[in-house]
Amino acid sequence: MQTVSCPGCGAPIQFLSTASVLAVCGYCKSTVIKDVASVKDLGKMAEVLEDYSPIQIGTSGVFAATAFTVIGRIQLRYPEGMWNEWYALFADGKTAWLSDASGQYTFTTEVVSTTALPAFNTMVPARSYLINGQRYMAADVRTANCIAGQGELPFQVGQGWQTHTADLRAGGNFITLDYSEPEHTRLYAGQAVTLEGLQCQLLRDEEQIQTSAGKFKGKVSALSCPACGSSTPVLPGVTNTLICPACHAQVDISGPTAQVLAVGSSVAQVYTTLTLGAAATISGRAYQIIGLMRLCDNQNTVWTEYLLHSPRAGFLWLVETDQEWYRASVMDEWPTLTQGDTAMLGSTAFQKHVHYPAKVIYAIGAFNWRVGVGYQTDNIEFQNGSTILAAEMTGTELTWSQSTPVSADQISAWFGNGVQGGKQGQDQIGPLKNVAYKWMAIIALLNFIPFLATDDSWIIIAIGCAALYYPAKYLDDLQGGDS
């Protein structure tokens, strides 16, 4: 360990790792670079955006039977979101990276490649690549900018520092190809992990997370929409995009200043069974609905997806269809695709069930990626009994999720009084076409005598009934019957 004085304010700065060449002063945020004889002040580093990650500088744990301590962090931002890379120092002096992206964690260390690595411009999500004797599937390919740093780091970063990376997975194994250096591609290998599996200590508790998350230079997490001024709670550092519930503007909230990406259009009120902000206790964890969206496929089938967040447990999805509910989560361990239409998860085979496009037709709330009306993914579902594995693909990313059915009674038990909106509204007035039937009957009764007196009055009655029925049916179909 080496201790130096910050050139900016004089505070002591400790370099715990001999591999560290840069540190960010915890007092004045000066970026300090270390060389053989002295330290140099490179100017101020942007403050990290305090997010909902439970990890912090000083968090410790065990990986591969070796103790580690988190000593640094960089935050990276790309067009669809942002994530943390935590720099970890092992007890034996080696270092590694703990990636923290939307509640998913991977631990990787730099390794030597025994084969030629693919070029960045040839990487395509969902395509497989043979690397160091194992076949991996590309999960995402992205260019990101460093927006902030904290603690000590093994290389010089700052505003304008950019990285080009590709992440690949094979089961629970994980690799990153880092193309940041033009002449040299670095290979990092490791695996998907959980904080419980790492036996993490000194994690931030829920009270600390709630107190600090969303504060950036004095700003708190209640955001006033730049388009209409409506106040909406968000999760800075976790959520990337806000769809204003009032004006439906799409707002970028991944930085300290909210920016309107697209002005919202007039959207009819959509009633849903669960509402934005509804709270639930699931598996002993407190969750809250932070975003919801309606989607449709190429057969005009409509369903609702609710995004839930827990400060400690991360993200969870609930999916509501006309027939049933599903609980879904993003998978850390990926299935292996065999020849034909089979996905193997361990020793369990899942058969291809359906392949369809999914397009967002309505969205409100906060999301951990850039989403809005018109956003579309290409989905393939594989099924074994009642369990479904779903691959969702875009031009830059592939994700796998696993879902299982949930009873309506379980939803009611989780949310209690939060179960309202669509189903309740439907029970009160029914679908719009049922209302249309009542008015059609009234029209028929009022025009019964004129119908007997003239030969062509039925045409007027038919036109009036059609004008009531078909718009109501169209709106019912559009809203999945919950109107």
Higher local confidence (pLDDT), 313 or 282: 282
The span from the CA of 110 to the CA of 177, in Å, is: 10
| pLDDT tens figures, 95-112 | 999 999 878 899 999 999
Q: At residue 83, does pLDDT exceed 60?
A: yes
Higher local confidence (pLDDT), 290 or 218: 290
pLDDT of residue 368: 77
Q: At residue 483, does pLDDT exceed 50?
A: no
The span from the CA of 57 to the CA of 34, in Å, is: 20
Q: At residue 423, does pLDDT exceed 90?
A: no
| Mean pLDDT score of the chain | 78
pLDDT of residue 183: 84
Q: What percent of the chain shows pLDDT beyond 70?
A: 64
Question: Which own/partner pairs from 224-233 qualify as long-range (CB within 8 Å, at least 24 positions apart)?
Answer: 225/249, 225/251, 225/258, 226/251, 226/258, 226/259, 226/260, 227/251, 227/260, 227/263, 227/264, 232/365, 232/366, 233/277, 233/290, 233/366
β partners of residue 61: 68
Q: At residue 23, does pLDDT exceed 50?
A: yes
pLDDT confidence tier of residue 175, bands split at 50, 70 and 90? very high
| pLDDT tens figures, 344-381 | 999 999 999 999 999 998 888 888 777 788 889 999 99
Higher local confidence (pLDDT), 235 or 336: 336
pLDDT of residue 158: 64
- Predicted model pTM: 0.71
Higher local confidence (pLDDT), 150 or 240: 150
The span from the CA of 439 to the CA of 444, in Å, is: 9
